[in-house]
Chain A
C-alpha cells in the first residue's frame, strides 16, 4: 500500500475529533450503572430478592435501553462530524510514568449501535427468560449474572481506551463462564464453562500483548492516542498489533483456530445462548477489529489474515451446522459461520467495516430470534434438543413456527428479509476485492450461503415438518406470552432490520465518520446477489429433498466420512486434545515430578548430608532449635568479632 493511500485511509478514523459529552450524554455512565447495580443487588441480596429479582433484572436492562435511546436521539441532533463524544467517569489507574488509564466512555456512531443492540435485544431476552427460567429455584442468580454481562458488555463497547475495553472483554468472558456453567451440578456444564474461559484466555493473551505493544510503541493505550500516532509506526509493528488483535478476536468470536468452545457453550440455558453466544458477546471480536480500523487500514497483511480467518470459519461453522442433530448446536455452528461473514467483511477494510456492523446488527435480531425459538421448542418438549425427536411441531407451536420461519428466511437471505440486505453485499464486496484472493474469498462466502440454506432448511424440516417423532409422554405446547412476545418482536426485526439499515445506505452513511470511506454501492439485486440467491435456492432445495421429502430416522444414520467428521466438530477438540491437552498433561506431571524429586530432592540430599539423614531430620526437631540457637550465637559472635576488628 502506498503512503498517500495509507494516509487517506487512516484519515477518517483519526481526523474526527472526539468532543466532551454535554447535557444528557454526560450521564453515559448510567448505562453501566443500571445493570451493574442490578447485578450487585441480586448477587448480594441472596434469597431475599427471589420474589422480585427477575423483575429488577429486566428493569435495569430496560432503563439502560431507555437511556440508550435518549443518547441516540441526542446524537442524531448533532452534525455528523460532532457525534463522537467522550465522558470521563473517573481516574481508574492514575498516571504512572506515561501509563494512564482514566475510565472514559466514548459515545459515537459505532458504540451507540452496540448499546442499542445489547440493551434492546438484551431486554427482550431477559423478558423471555422470566418465563423460560420460571421453574428454576436460582432464577434470581441467573438474572444477576445476565445483568453483570450487560454491564461488562457495555463497558467493552463504550470504553475509550484499550485497557478499559480489556476489562469489559474479560468481564463478558466471566459472565459467559458463570452462565454456561449455570447448572453447575451437571459436570458437562462445568467443563464447558471452564473450556470457554480458557479458550477465551488464549485470545486474551493476544489482546493484552497487543495493548502492551501499543504502549511500547506509542506510550499510550487510549483510542485517540494510538489512532493518532499509528501512521508513524513501522509496517511490521502495525501488522504485529493487528495480528495480536485478531488473536483476541478469534478467542472471543469463536473463530478458527479458537472455535471449539462455542459448541460446548450450548450447555448454558437457552437465553444465554441467544444473548451471549449469538447476538452480542461473540460478536465482540468483530467490534474490536472495526474499532481498530485505523490500525487495520495501515496493514494489508493483517487485513488479509482477518479475511482468511473469516472465510475459513464461515465454511467450517456451516459444515458443522449440517451434521448436528442437537438444535442448539446446529444454530451454534451457524453462529460461527455468520460471524465468519462479519470477520470477512471487516477484513476487507473500509469497504467492509460498515457491512460487518450491518450484518452483526441484523444477525443479532434473527439469530436471537432463532435461539429463542429453539428454546421455546425445547421448553415445550421437556428439554429435548435432539431434532430427530421433534417433527410436526408447526401445528402445535404456531407462534414459534412462524417466528422461527422469519428467522430462517432472514438467515438464508431471501428478500426482503434482513440477511439478504446484509449478507449479499459482503459476498459482493469480497468479489470486488479483486485478484485471486477476492475470487477465493467471494466463492467461499457464496458457497457458505448455499450451505447455510441447506442446514437451516434441514433444521426447519426436522423440527417443524411432517411426521411427529416425539418420545412417549411428551406433550408439546406453545410457550406462554412472556416468551412468545419477545420472539414476535425479534421476528419483526428479522424481517425489517436489514432493509432499514441498508436501503439508501442508512447505516453506512451513519458510520462513515468512524469507519471511513463508504463502499461503492452496487445496489441490491446485482449479478452477484442473483447468483447468491440461486445458490441459496439450490441449498434449500437439497435440504428439502433430504429432510423434507424423505422421512427423518429417529436414530442417526451412519453417515459419510464428512458427516462423521462434522458431527465431531471437524475434529477441533481432537486436535486440541492431541496437540495441547495431552502434551500439557505430560508437561504438568513431569514438572511436578521434577519439582518433588529434582529440585527438592537435591535440597533434601544436601540437607541430609549436612544433618545426618532426612529421616532423622523429622524426628529430632528439638535438636534443631538448639542448633538454630547455636548458629545464632555463632552468628552473633562473628558479628561482634568483625565489628571489633573494624574498630581496632
Chain B
C-alpha cells in the first residue's frame, strides 16, 4: 500500500461528494414541501457520508505514515504545466498530516452541527426565513474540504497558491449568502483582506520562480516544486522581500495583529459551522504557511524578521485577550480569543525552538477542536435564544446543564486548563519561547490570566445566576448536537491526557524544519544530569 495515492484519494472523495450533491434534484424540481424536505435530507446525508469516508481514509493514511521515514510521504509528482515548471505535487510531512486529520475530523462534525443552518430560521421580528438552497450550502462545504486538504498537501508552491486563493470562494459565499447580521459587509471585508494578502503572495511566488530559473542548482530550469525551491540559495535582500510577500499573506490569514479586524466580523456573521472552518482550518493555513514556507524557503530572512514577528505576536496575544474581555457578542468574543491564540502559535513558530514549534503545531490542531467546540456550542445556544448578545442570557446552567457543562469544558480548553489538550500545546509554546526570549514569553504568559477572565466572565454571565425568563424554556442539547460536539470534547480531553501520538508525528517534521532554518535549541547554562540516572533506574525497576 506504500504507493497508494492517499492524499489524492482523500482530497478527491469530497469532490465526488460535491458532484453527487449536485446531481440530486434541486429546489426548483417539482414536488410538495415534504418532497423538498426529503430532498434536502438526502443532500445532508450524502454530505455526511462522504465526509465520514474521507475521515476514514485519512485515519488509515495516518496509520500508514511512518514518523521516522522520509520528510514527505505519500508523494505524487506529475507535470501540470511543463512549460512553467508547475506540477501537481502532493506530499505530507507530520505537520501537514495532523492538520489534514484535524480538517477531516472537523468536517463531519460541522455538517452535523449545521444540519439546519442552511435553511435559515425565522428572525425574531417574525419575518419568514430567507429562501436558500440547502444543496448549494452542502456542496460548498464539500468542495471546501477538497481545497483544505489540497492546501495542506500541496508541495508545489503554485499549487499551494491556487488552493490558497480558491478556498476563499466557497467561504465567501458561505458567509455572504448563508450568514447572519452584517453578512455581506463581513464577506466582502474577508475577501478584500485575503485578496490583498493573496496578491502579495502571488508576486512573491512569481519572483521566486524567476529566481529559481536563474539558479544553477536547478540547472536553470524554473520550478515551483517545494523540494526544488528549498535547495535554491537566495541572496539576503531577495529573501527579505520574498519573505514579506509570503508572510503578510499568512499574517492576514492567521490573522496576526494588526491584520486581525476582518476575523471578528467574518466569524460573527458566519453560521457557527462555517465559523469553525474559518477559524479552525482556513486561518491555520496562515500559520502552516509560516512554518512550512517562510522558515524553509527564507531561513535567513526569517531570523532577520523574528524580533518584529515576536513583538507583533506578543502584542496580539495580550491585545486580543483584553479586547475579548470587553466584547458583548458571544461569537465576537470567541473570535478575539482565537486572535490571541494565533499570537501564541506564531510566537511558538518564530521562537525557533523544538518545544516552541511542536507546541505551535499541536496548538493548531488543539485550537481547531477546542475553539470548534466552543463556537458550535455557542451556536446551539444562539439558535435557541436567537441572540448573540451575552446580556440576553443568564442561568442557562439550570435549564440546560449538559449544554452548560460542555460549554464549560470547551471554555476551560480555551484557557488552557491542564488535563485538556490546549494546555500541553500552550505550555510547550511558552517554555520553548522562554528558552530564547524570556521577556516575550513572560509577557505572553500574562495571557493565562486574561484568558481566565474572558472565559469565566463569559460563563458567569451566560450560564450562572438566576434563570432569565427568555431562556427558561430552553431545551438541553439534542442527540444530533451531542453527536456533533461530543467527539470534539472527547478529543480535547484525550489529547490533553495522552498527546503522545500527535506529538510523535509532529516531532520529526519540526526537527527537519529547524535544521532547514539553521536553528538549534539553546543549551541550558547549568544542565541537570540527574535526569538520565532516574531514567536508567526506571528502566530497571518499573513497569514495561
A contacts, CB < 8 Å to B:
18-22, 26, 43, 86-88, 90-94, 96-100, 102, 104, 163, 166-168, 170-171, 174, 177, 181, 184-187, 189-191, 193-194, 197-198, 201-202, 204-205, 208-209, 211-213, 215-220, 222, 224-229, 232-233, 587-589, 591-592, 595, 599-600, 603, 607, 611, 617-618, 621, 624-625, 628, 631-632, 635, 638-639, 642-643, 646-647
- With both beta carbons as reference points, the residue of chain B lying nearest to A186 in the complex is identified as B465
Contacting residues, chain B, for A208 (C-beta < 8 A): 427, 430, 445, 448
Minimal beta-carbon separation of A210 from chain B (angstroms): 11
Q: Which one of B83, B355, B418, B467 contacts A166 once the chains associate, using CB atoms below 8 Å?
A: B418
Report the separation of the CA atoms of residues A191 and B62 in the bound assembly, to the nearest whole angstrom.
45
Would you call A185 and B395 a contact (CB within 8 A)?
A: yes
Task: Tell me if A's interface is mostly helix, strand, loop or mixed.
Answer: helix
Interface size in chain B (residues, C-beta < 8 A):
97
Q: Which one of B84, B195, B507 contacts A631 once the chains associate, using CB atoms below 8 Å?
A: B195
Extra 18 A-B pairs, beta carbons < 8 Å, given A86-B537, A621-B176: A22-B541, A104-B538, A171-B417, A184-B464, A184-B465, A185-B464, A197-B452, A202-B449, A208-B427, A208-B445, A212-B442, A215-B524, A225-B531, A588-B322, A603-B262, A618-B184, A639-B206, A646-B209
Q: A96-B358, A202-B449, A213-B434 are in contact. Are A218 and B528 (CB under 8 A)?
A: yes
Q: Which one of B261, B353, B464, B530 contacts A600 once the chains associate, using CB atoms below 8 Å?
A: B261
Pick 22 A–B contacts, CB within 8 A, sort by A: A43-B405, A94-B503, A96-B354, A96-B428, A99-B355, A99-B428, A99-B431, A167-B419, A184-B464, A197-B456, A198-B449, A209-B434, A209-B445, A225-B529, A599-B258, A617-B185, A618-B182, A618-B184, A621-B187, A624-B188, A643-B83, A646-B222
Minimal beta-carbon separation of B144 from chain A (angstroms): 17
Of the stretches B3-11, B105-113, B323-331, B376-384, the one at the interface is B323-331
Q: A187-B465, A219-B524 are in contact. Are A595 and B448 (CB under 8 A)?
A: no
B129 beta carbon closer than 8 Å to chain A: no
Would you call A205 and B449 a contact (CB within 8 A)?
A: yes
B238 beta carbon closer than 8 Å to chain A: no
Report the separation of the CA atoms of residues A187 and B395 in the bound assembly, to the nearest whole angstrom.
9
Would you call B507 and A588 a contact (CB within 8 A)?
A: no
Q: A201-B452, A219-B527, A592-B327 are in contact. Are A171 and B500 (CB under 8 A)?
A: no
Would you call A222 and B438 a contact (CB within 8 A)?
A: no
Would you call A94 and B188 a contact (CB within 8 A)?
A: no
Contacting residues, chain B, for A171 (C-beta < 8 A): 417-419
Contacting residues, chain A, for B323 (C-beta < 8 A): 588, 591-592, 595
Contacting residues, chain B, for A22 (C-beta < 8 A): 541
Would you call A220 and B534 a contact (CB within 8 A)?
A: no
Q: Which one of A198, A211, A632 contacts B453 once the chains associate, using CB atoms below 8 Å?
A: A198
Contacting residues, chain B, for A96 (C-beta < 8 A): 354-355, 358, 428, 503, 507
User: Count the A-B residue pairs with Cβ separation under 8 angstroms: how many?
Assistant: 249
B219 beta carbon closer than 8 Å to chain A: no
Would you call A205 and B457 a contact (CB within 8 A)?
A: no
B88 beta carbon closer than 8 Å to chain A: no
Report the separation of the CA atoms of residues A591 and B258 in the bound assembly, to the nearest whole angstrom.
13
Would you call B419 and A20 a contact (CB within 8 A)?
A: no
Would you call B464 and A26 a contact (CB within 8 A)?
A: no
Contacting residues, chain B, for A97 (C-beta < 8 A): 353-355, 432, 521
Report the separation of the CA atoms of residues A117 and B187 in the bound assembly, to the nearest whole angstrom.
59
Within B433-487, the residues touching A (CB, 8 Å) are 434-435, 438, 441-442, 445-446, 448-449, 452-453, 456-457, 459-460, 463-467
Q: Which one of A87, A220, A647 contacts B542 once the chains associate, using CB atoms below 8 Å?
A: A87
Binary interface encoding of chain B residues 194-216 relative to chain A, with 1 for a CB under 8 A from any of its CBs, else 0: 01000100100010011001000
Binary interface encoding of chain B residues 515-539 relative to chain A, with 1 for a CB under 8 A from any of its CBs, else 0: 0000001111111111101100110
Minimal beta-carbon separation of A175 from chain B (angstroms): 11
Contacting residues, chain A, for B418 (C-beta < 8 A): 166-168, 170-171
8 nearest A-B residue pairs (beta carbon): A20-B541, A228-B530, A167-B418, A219-B524, A190-B464, A225-B528, A97-B354, A220-B528
B217 beta carbon closer than 8 Å to chain A: no
Within B321-369, the residues touching A (CB, 8 Å) are 322-323, 325-327, 353-355, 358
Report the separation of the CA atoms of residues A640 and B91 in the bound assembly, to the nearest whole angstrom.
26
B412 beta carbon closer than 8 Å to chain A: yes
Contacting residues, chain B, for A228 (C-beta < 8 A): 528-530
Contacting residues, chain B, for A187 (C-beta < 8 A): 464-466
Report the separation of the CA atoms of residues A208 and B423 in the bound assembly, to the nearest whole angstrom.
12
Contacting residues, chain B, for A185 (C-beta < 8 A): 395, 397-398, 464-467
Report the separation of the CA atoms of residues A506 and B193 in the bound assembly, to the nearest whole angstrom.
71
- With both beta carbons as reference points, the residue of chain A lying nearest to B537 in the complex is identified as A20
Minimal beta-carbon separation of B313 from chain A (angstroms): 16
B35 beta carbon closer than 8 Å to chain A: no
Q: A184-B397, A635-B199, A635-B202 are in contact. Are A587 and B322 (CB under 8 A)?
A: yes
B540 beta carbon closer than 8 Å to chain A: yes
B165 beta carbon closer than 8 Å to chain A: yes
Contacting residues, chain A, for B497 (C-beta < 8 A): 92
Q: A97-B354, A624-B191 are in contact. Are A170 and B417 (CB under 8 A)?
A: yes
Report the separation of the CA atoms of residues A43 and B406 in the bound assembly, to the nearest whole angstrom.
11
Report the separation of the CA atoms of residues A212 and B427 in the bound assembly, to the nearest whole angstrom.
9
Would you call B206 and A638 a contact (CB within 8 A)?
A: yes
Residue of B353, B449, B507 with most partner-chain A CB within 10 A = B449
Contacting residues, chain B, for A603 (C-beta < 8 A): 193, 261-262
Would you call B524 and A643 a contact (CB within 8 A)?
A: no
Contacting residues, chain B, for A632 (C-beta < 8 A): 165
Contacting residues, chain B, for A90 (C-beta < 8 A): 498
Q: A96-B358, A97-B355, A631-B199 are in contact. Are A618 and B185 (CB under 8 A)?
A: yes
Report the separation of the CA atoms of residues A392 and B417 in the bound assembly, to the nearest whole angstrom.
47
Report the separation of the CA atoms of residues A49 and B417 in the bound assembly, to the nearest whole angstrom.
27
Would you call B534 and A589 a contact (CB within 8 A)?
A: no
Report the separation of the CA atoms of residues A225 and B449 in the bound assembly, to the nearest whole angstrom.
29
Contacting residues, chain B, for A224 (C-beta < 8 A): 530-531, 533-534
Q: A216-B435, A224-B531, A642-B206 are in contact. Are A194 and B355 (CB under 8 A)?
A: no
Contacting residues, chain A, for B435 (C-beta < 8 A): 215-216
Would you call B528 and A194 a contact (CB within 8 A)?
A: no
- With both beta carbons as reference points, the residue of chain B lying nearest to A231 in the complex is identified as B526
Minimal beta-carbon separation of B41 from chain A (angstroms): 30
Report the separation of the CA atoms of residues A20 and B542 in the bound assembly, to the nearest whole angstrom.
6
Report the separation of the CA atoms of residues A22 and B541 in the bound assembly, to the nearest whole angstrom.
7
Report the separation of the CA atoms of residues A209 and B438 in the bound assembly, to the nearest whole angstrom.
9
Contacting residues, chain A, for B397 (C-beta < 8 A): 184-185
Residue of B355, B448, B452 with most partner-chain A CB within 10 A = B452
Would you call B427 and A233 a contact (CB within 8 A)?
A: no
Report the separation of the CA atoms of residues A102 and B193 in the bound assembly, to the nearest whole angstrom.
44
Would you call B206 and A225 a contact (CB within 8 A)?
A: no
B120 beta carbon closer than 8 Å to chain A: no
Contacting residues, chain B, for A625 (C-beta < 8 A): 172
- With both beta carbons as reference points, the residue of chain B lying nearest to A224 in the complex is identified as B530
Contacting residues, chain A, for B206 (C-beta < 8 A): 638-639, 642-643
Would you call B466 and A174 a contact (CB within 8 A)?
A: no
Minimal beta-carbon separation of B452 from chain A (angstroms): 4
Contacting residues, chain B, for A226 (C-beta < 8 A): 528
Q: A208-B427, A218-B526, A588-B325 are in contact. Are A194 and B457 (CB under 8 A)?
A: yes
Q: Which one of B261, B504, B529, B542 contacts A88 once the chains associate, using CB atoms below 8 Å?
A: B542
Minimal beta-carbon separation of B493 from chain A (angstroms): 10
- With both beta carbons as reference points, the residue of chain B lying nearest to A95 in the complex is identified as B507
Contacting residues, chain A, for B523 (C-beta < 8 A): 219
Report the separation of the CA atoms of residues A347 and B398 in the bound assembly, to the nearest whole angstrom.
46
Report the separation of the CA atoms of residues A232 and B260 in the bound assembly, to the nearest whole angstrom.
45
Report the separation of the CA atoms of residues A599 and B336 in the bound assembly, to the nearest whole angstrom.
14
Contacting residues, chain B, for A600 (C-beta < 8 A): 261
Report the separation of the CA atoms of residues A599 and B325 in the bound assembly, to the nearest whole angstrom.
18
Within B280-302, the residues touching A (CB, 8 Å) are none
Report the separation of the CA atoms of residues A587 and B438 in the bound assembly, to the nearest whole angstrom.
25
Would you call B528 and A219 a contact (CB within 8 A)?
A: yes
Report the separation of the CA atoms of residues A166 and B416 in the bound assembly, to the nearest whole angstrom.
12
Report the separation of the CA atoms of residues A611 and B202 in the bound assembly, to the nearest whole angstrom.
22
